Amino acid sequence: MCISLGSPCPPTPPPCTLVTMQRVMLTLLVMLIAVPPCTGQQDANRRYDSPQQWFDAEWERAGRQSEWKWVRVAWTQEDRWIPPLADINRLRRETAGKPDHPERILLADLEKRLLGEFQVGEFAIWFGDSGSLRFNHHSRTEPGDYFDRVITPQSVWGLTPRGLALLDPDSSEPGYNFVAAVGGAEIIYSQFIDGGLGILRRAEVPKGSVKQSGDSLVIECRGGPRNADVKVSARWDTALARGFIESIELRWGSDVPTGGTLHVSGWSIDSVLNSWAASEVHSVPIGQTAGLLWKRGVTEPVTRERFAELSRVPSADGADVVRGPATFVVIEDRRNAHRQLTTLSEGSTKTEPLPLIPHESNRKWITVTGWIVAASLAAMLLFLRLRQGLLRRSLGP
């Protein structure tokens, strides 16, 4: 995964390519990036009189707004997709003897995947109060590459190894929608808590009734604005007097259905969140045998003092509490009262005004990085582009 500002990063794709990639990401995880996340608190020790009472409570909780405060949550993401071997062999033939072939990057990644070595991204969110948070992301294979966002009532800023962006709290400037990106990350994490029911609530899918056979529970939900056809499979634990979601099969639309299956496993009590939480969620799109695998990390309480350190804007000659000494060479101050671009180079500083409408050259550092981080929530940006080419060839003559 590449989120660097330097030469290893791919160039910004043209608008038509971005549209195509957006559609791919929506196809992969259309149920996950629609609206802000909703996850309420629960009493981990609550017992239920019946499976239907348990499901009704879970359904209601999955529709409430998140109440996380003074806590850090973390997870990893693995993209486990592997194309058919015939397509990989075709790619081997096409790139043989061509060291500059643009898809050798894809082939090298696929060869690792065949050996069980998948790209892994690490994510963490620190929650304060009043909607304040810090969202960090980096690649496990390239931990020095990262992109962090901080949102508080007082300031909004983003940080990479090479750049710092400063925004007004109410900024809606194109290319700098930090709130939307963080919302997508929260949606992914909420699946560990609600088992995927939040997806159905956000899509306004009607709630179904529980059908029980022994300790197996099935809930079928159909309809809603997206014409959903959903099967929720769960297990009833008599000793604990509660259920646990094991999978959700989702189909959206009727003519050309999209969606996939969420496999949920490893339920245990998280004492910090006072909630049951799954350890793994595997999202497998329709027609594939593997997709994105999320693994929940350690949950930790966060003090006010610690959050104040985490949300403090790093200075050019200072250090960030997470990333260490400052390495960035570009500061984009997009606050309305400032609007200036500062370039730091070998002890010298150059400052120039920023235009009211972002120019591509001025926002390239944040656009390239932002797109890659956004894509990492639904697979890697560069990999998606190359994967699309591979899929198109596999469908051709």
Task: Write the single-letter amino acid at 327.
Answer: T
In the chain, the number of structural domains is 1
Are 152 and 132 spatial neighbours (Cβ–Cβ below 8 Å)? yes
Sequential DSSP letters for 263-306: EEE--EEETTTTEEE-SEEEEEETT-S--EEEEE---EE--HHH
pLDDT at residue 149, rounded to an integer:
94
d(CA 234, CA 248): 9
Are 314 and 320 spatial neighbours (Cβ–Cβ below 8 Å)? yes
Tell me which residue of 352, 371, 373, 349 sits closest to 362, measured CA to CA: 352
Tell me which residue of 80, 82, 77 sits closest to 118, measured CA to CA: 80
Residue 106 covered by a domain: no
**Would the pLDDT of 229 be above 50?**
yes
Of 173-187, 213-227, 260-274, 375-389, the range with the lowest mean pLDDT is: 375-389
The pairing of strands 330-333 and 163-167 is parallel
Residue 89 covered by a domain: no
| pLDDT 10s digits, 153-173 | 988 999 999 999 999 888 777
Looking at per-residue confidence, does 18 or 86 come out higher? Answer: 86
* Average pLDDT over all residues of the chain: 79
Task: Give the side-chain half-sphere CA count within 13 A for 95.
Answer: 17
pLDDT at residue 11, rounded to an integer:
29
**Would the pLDDT of 2 be above 70?**
no
d(CA 382, CA 384): 5
Looking at per-residue confidence, does 314 or 373 come out higher? Answer: 314
| pLDDT 10s digits, 105-149 | 888 888 888 888 888 899 999 999 989 999 999 988 777 889 999
Tell me which residue of 207, 214, 262, 244 sits closest to 32, measured CA to CA: 262
The pairing of strands 275-277 and 242-252 is unpaired
Residue 186 burial (CB count, 10 A): 21
Residue 41 covered by a domain: yes
d(CA 154, CA 77): 31
Residue 135: Cβ-neighbour burial (10 angstroms; 0-12, 13-18, 19+): buried
**Would the pLDDT of 12 be above 60?**
no
The pairing of strands 210-213 and 242-252 is unpaired
Phi first, then psi, for residue 265 (nearest 5°) are -150, 165
Residue 86 covered by a domain: no
Both structure tokens of 379? 């697979």
**Would the pLDDT of 179 be above 70?**
yes
pLDDT at residue 371, rounded to an integer:
31
| pLDDT 10s digits, 358-388 | 444 334 434 333 333 333 343 333 333 333 4
**Would the pLDDT of 90 be above 60?**
yes
pLDDT at residue 230, rounded to an integer:
96
Residue 151 covered by a domain: yes
Phi first, then psi, for residue 316 (nearest 5°) are -60, -30
pTM: 0.77
Of 37-46, 119-128, 225-234, the range with the lowest mean pLDDT is: 37-46
Helix boundaries (H) for 99-141: 104-114
**Would the pLDDT of 38 be above 50?**
no
Residue 100 covered by a domain: no
Both structure tokens of 224? 């809603």
Sequential DSSP letters for 220-258: EEEETTTTEEEEEEEEEETTTTEEEEEEEEEEE-SSS-E
17 pLDDT band, cuts 50/70/90, is very low
**Would the pLDDT of 34 be above 90?**
no
pLDDT at residue 35, rounded to an integer:
34
d(CA 355, CA 158): 19
CA 208, 250, 77 angle in degrees (round to 5)?
Answer: 125
Q: Is the dihedral of CA 298, 299, 303, 307 positive or negative?
A: positive
| pLDDT 10s digits, 269-285 | 999 999 999 999 999 98
Looking at per-residue confidence, does 116 or 191 come out higher? Answer: 191
Looking at per-residue confidence, does 302 or 94 come out higher? Answer: 302
pLDDT at residue 42, rounded to an integer:
54
Give the SS3 label for residue 55: helix
pLDDT at residue 356, rounded to an integer:
63
pLDDT at residue 324, rounded to an integer:
94
Residue 364 covered by a domain: yes
- Residues in contact with 11: Cβ distance below 8 Å, sequence separation at least 6, in sequence order: 368
Domain carrying residue 277: 15-80+118-395
Are 260 and 291 spatial neighbours (Cβ–Cβ below 8 Å)? yes
